Amino acid sequence: MQIETIIPWMGVAYLLMVWSLLYKENRFFRFAENCFVGAACGYTLTKAIDSLNSSGISPIITKARYDLIIPMILGILILAKFKRNIAFVSQWGVNIMVGIATGLAIRGVLQAQVIVQITATFISLSMMPNPLAYFNNIFVLISVISTIFYFIFTREPSGHLKYISKIGRYAIMLALGPVFASNVLTRMVLLAERVAFFLRVLGIIK
Partner 1 sequence: MEKKNRGILEALEYVDRRILYSLMIIVVAVPLIHPLGLPMPISSFTRTAYNAIEALKPGEYVIWASDVDAGAWAECGPQSIAFLNHLFRIPNIKIIIVSFIPAGTDLVLLALKEVDLHDKKYGIDYVILPYIAGGETAKAIFFSDVYKVVTLDVYGTHLEQMSIMKDFKNVNDISIYTGVVSPMTPLEEYIRQLVLPYKKPLIVGVISVNVPTLMPYIKSGQVTAYLGGAMGAAEYELLIGRPGSGLAQADSISTSHLMILLLVLMGNILYIIKRVRGGKK
Partner 2 sequence: MSLIRRREISLALAAIGGIIMISDYFINVKAIKDIAAMLQSWGVILAIFCIFLSTGNLVIYHVQRLSRQTKEERGWSGLVLLVMSLFVGTYLAGRQDLFNILFNAIYLPINQAIYGIIGFFLITASYRAFKVRSLEASLLLVSGCAVILKNAPIGSWLWEGVIPIGTWFNEVGGLGGNRGFVIAAALGAFSIGIRVLMGLQKGFAGEAGGGE
Partner 3 sequence: MITNQNILITNLVMFGLLLFFMRKANAGKIPQIRQIAAVDAIAEGIGRAAEQNRPVFFFPGSVALESSEMVQTLAALNVLSQVAQIAADKGAVLKCVAGHSTIFPLMEETLRQAFLTAGTPESYKSDTLLWFSDSAYARDAAVMGMMHRERFATNIIIGRCYVESMMYCETGNFLGALQIGGTAAAIQAPFFVTMCDYALIGDEIYAAGASLSKDPVQLGSIEAQDIGKAIAIVLIIIGTVLLSLGIRFSL
- Identify residues 144-173 at the interface with partner 2 (CB under 8 A): 144-148, 150-151, 168-173
By CB under 8 A, is residue 143 in contact with partner 3? no
**Does residue 192 touch partner 1 according to CB under 8 A?**
yes
The yes or no reply on residue 22 touching partner 1 (CB under 8 A) is yes
Query: What is the footprint of partner 1 within residues 74-93 (CB under 8 A)?
Result: none
In angstroms, rounded to a whole number, what is the distance separating the alpha carbons of residues 82 and 146? 50
Residue 105: CA atoms inside 13 Å, Cβ hemisphere, count? 6
Size of the site for partner 3 (CB under 8 A): 62
Query: What gap in Å lies between CA 29 and CA 21, rounded to an integer?
Result: 6
Q: How far is CA 184 from CA 28, 189, 190, 197, in A?
A: 28, 9, 10, 20
Binders of partner 1 among residues 129 to 188 (CB under 8 A) are 178-179, 182-186, 188
Backbone φ and ψ for 204, nearest 5 degrees, come out as -75, -40
Question: Binding string to partner 3 for residues 53 to 82, with x set by CB under 8 A, is what?
Answer: -------------------------x--x-
Q: Which of 113, 43, 12, 143 has the alpha carbon at shortest distance from 135?
A: 143
Closest among 111, 109, 137, 117 to 125, alpha carbons compared: 137
Interacting partner of 196 out of partner 1, partner 3, partner 2, none (Cβ under 5 to 8 A depending on kind): partner 1
91 near partner 3, judged by CB under 8 A? yes
65 with 59: CB under 8 angstroms?
A: yes
The interface with partner 3 within residues 169-188 (CB under 8 A) comprises 172-173, 175-177, 179-180, 183, 187
Q: Which of 49, 161, 202, 205 binds partner 2 (CB under 8 A)?
A: 49
